[in-house]
Amino acid sequence: MIARPLSEIAVAVGGTLRGDDAVARSVVTDSRQATSGALFVALRGEHADGHDFVGDAYARGAVGAIVSTAVEGTTIVVGGTGRALLDLGADERRLMPDAFVIGVTGANGKTSTKDLAAAMLATRFRTHASPASFNNEIGLPMTILGAPDGTEVIVAEMGARRAGDVTLLCDIARPDAVVVTNIGVAHMEIFGSWDEIVRAGAEPTDWLGSGGVAIVNADDPVVRGYTGSTAATVVTFGADPRAQVRAEDVSLGPDARASFSLVRGPDREPVELAVPGEHMVSNALAAAACGLVRGMTVAECATALKGAHISAMRMETFTTGGGILVVNDAYNANPESVAAGLKTARRIATGRRLVAVLGHMAELGPIAFEEHERLGELVVRIGVDRLITVGEPARAIARTAVREGQLPEDTASYDDPAEAAADVLAWARGGDVVLLKGSRVAALERVAEALR
Q: Is residue 190 over pLDDT 80?
A: no
Q: Is residue 312 over pLDDT 90?
A: no
If you average pLDDT over residues 423-441, what whole number do you get? Answer: 93
CATH number at residue 439: 3.90.190.20
Of the candidates 11, 91, 87, 85, the one whose C-alpha atom is nearest the C-alpha of residue 43 is: 85
Q: Which long-range contacts (CB under 8 A, 24 or more apart) does 234-238 make?
A: 235/289, 235/292, 235/293, 237/282, 237/285, 237/286, 237/288, 237/289, 238/282, 238/285
Q: Are residue 352 and residue 326 in the same domain, yes or no?
A: yes
Q: What is the C-alpha end-to-end distance of the chain, expressed in Å?
A: 37
Of the candidates 370, 397, 395, the one whose C-alpha atom is nearest the C-alpha of residue 384 is: 397
Domain boundary among 306, 335, 356: 306
Backbone region of residue 442 per phi and psi (left: phi > 0; alpha: psi in -120 to 50; beta: other values):
alpha
If you average pLDDT over residues 18-42, what whole number do you get? Answer: 96
State the Cα–Cα distance between residues 135 and 312, nearest whole angstrom: 16
At residue 441, the pLDDT reads 86
What are the start-end ranges of the E strands in 49-187?
A: 64-67, 75-77, 100-105, 127-129, 153-157, 177-180
Q: Is residue 185 over pLDDT 80?
A: no
Rounded to the nearest 10°, the torsion over CA 281, 287, 291, 296 is: -20
What is the three-class DSSP state of 39?
strand
**What are the C-alpha distances in Å from 340 to residues 5, 276, 326?**
49, 11, 16
Q: Is residue 189 over pLDDT 80?
A: no
Number of folded domains that form the chain: 3
Q: Are residue 143 and residue 201 in the same domain, yes or no?
A: yes
Binning pLDDT at 50, 70 and 90, where does residue 162 land? confident
pLDDT > 70: percent of the chain: 100
At residue 100, the pLDDT reads 98
pLDDT > 90: percent of the chain: 81
Q: Are residue 222 and residue 265 in the same domain, yes or no?
A: yes
- Which residue has better confidence, 247 or 193? 247
pTM to 2 decimals?
0.84
Q: Are residue 63 and residue 112 in the same domain, yes or no?
A: no
Tell whether the torsion through CA atoms of 82, 166, 282 and 176 is positive or negative. Answer: negative
The answer to whether residue 85 is domain-embedded is no
What is the radius of gyration, based on Cα positions, of the chain? Answer: 23
Q: Are residue 104 and residue 75 in the same domain, yes or no?
A: no
Q: For the chain, what is the mean pLDDT?
A: 94
At residue 309, the pLDDT reads 83
Per-residue pLDDT reduced to its tens digit, 331-385: 888 898 999 999 999 999 999 999 999 999 988 888 899 999 999 999 999 999 9
**What are the C-alpha distances in Å from 295 to residues 239, 265, 301?**
22, 15, 10
Q: Is residue 36 over pLDDT 80?
A: yes
User: The sheet that has 26-28: what strands, in order across it?
Assistant: 16-18, 75-77, 64-67, 38-41, 26-28
Q: Are residue 132 and residue 245 in the same domain, yes or no?
A: yes
If you average pLDDT over residues 186-203, what whole number do you get? Answer: 83
If you average pLDDT over residues 132-139, what whole number do you get? Answer: 88
Domain that holds residue 385: 316-451
Q: Is residue 165 over pLDDT 80?
A: yes
User: The sheet that has 267-276: what strands, in order across it?
Assistant: 127-129, 153-157, 100-105, 177-180, 213-217, 233-238, 245-252, 257-264, 267-276
Residue 168 identity: L
Q: Is residue 187 over pLDDT 70?
A: no
The answer to whether residue 334 is domain-embedded is yes
Q: Is residue 311 over pLDDT 80?
A: no
CA 128 from chain center: how many Å? 15
Contacts of 245 (CB under 8 A, 6+ apart): 235, 236, 237, 238, 262, 263, 264, 285, 288, 289, 292
Q: Are residue 250 and residue 114 in the same domain, yes or no?
A: yes
Q: Is residue 55 over pLDDT 80?
A: yes
Per-residue pLDDT reduced to its tens digit, 63-108: 999 999 989 999 999 999 999 999 999 999 999 999 999 999 998 8
Q: Is residue 386 over pLDDT 90?
A: yes
Q: How many CB atoms lie within 10 A of CB 360?
A: 24
Binning pLDDT at 50, 70 and 90, where does residue 46 land? confident
Domain boundary among 79, 105, 133: 79
State the Cα–Cα distance between residues 30 and 146, nearest whole angstrom: 14
If you average pLDDT over residues 162-168, what whole number do you get? Answer: 92
What are the start-end ranges of the E strands in 265-419?
A: 267-276, 316-319, 325-328, 354-359, 386-390, 411-414
At residue 419, the pLDDT reads 96
**What are the C-alpha distances in Å from 98 to residues 6, 93, 101, 175?**
24, 10, 9, 12
Q: Are residue 289 and residue 261 in the same domain, yes or no?
A: yes
Q: Strands 153-157, 177-180: parallel, antiparallel or unpaired by DSSP? A: unpaired
List beta partners, residue 233. Answer: 213
Q: Are residue 155 and residue 279 in the same domain, yes or no?
A: yes
Asked if residue 439 lies in contact with residue 332, where contact means CB atoms within 8 angstroms, the answer is: yes
At residue 160, the pLDDT reads 84
The answer to whether residue 87 is domain-embedded is no
Query: ∠ CA(156), CA(160), CA(166), 5° rounding?
Result: 60
If you average pLDDT over residues 150-171, what whole number do you get? Answer: 94
Residue 167 identity: T
Of the candidates 102, 145, 111, 134, the one whose C-alpha atom is nearest the C-alpha of residue 9 is: 145
For residue 309, the 8-state DSSP code is -
CATH number at residue 257: 3.40.1190.10
The answer to whether residue 182 is domain-embedded is yes
Q: Are residue 127 and residue 242 in the same domain, yes or no?
A: yes
What is the three-class DSSP state of 175?
coil
User: Angle, nearest 10°, between helix axes 81-94 and 165-173?
Assistant: 40
State the Cα–Cα distance between residues 154 and 368, nearest whole angstrom: 35
**What are the C-alpha distances in Å from 260 to residues 249, 273, 277, 298?**
5, 9, 13, 13
User: The sheet that has 386-390: what strands, in order across it?
Assistant: 316-319, 325-328, 433-437, 354-359, 386-390, 411-414
Q: How many CB atoms lie within 10 A of CB 321?
A: 8
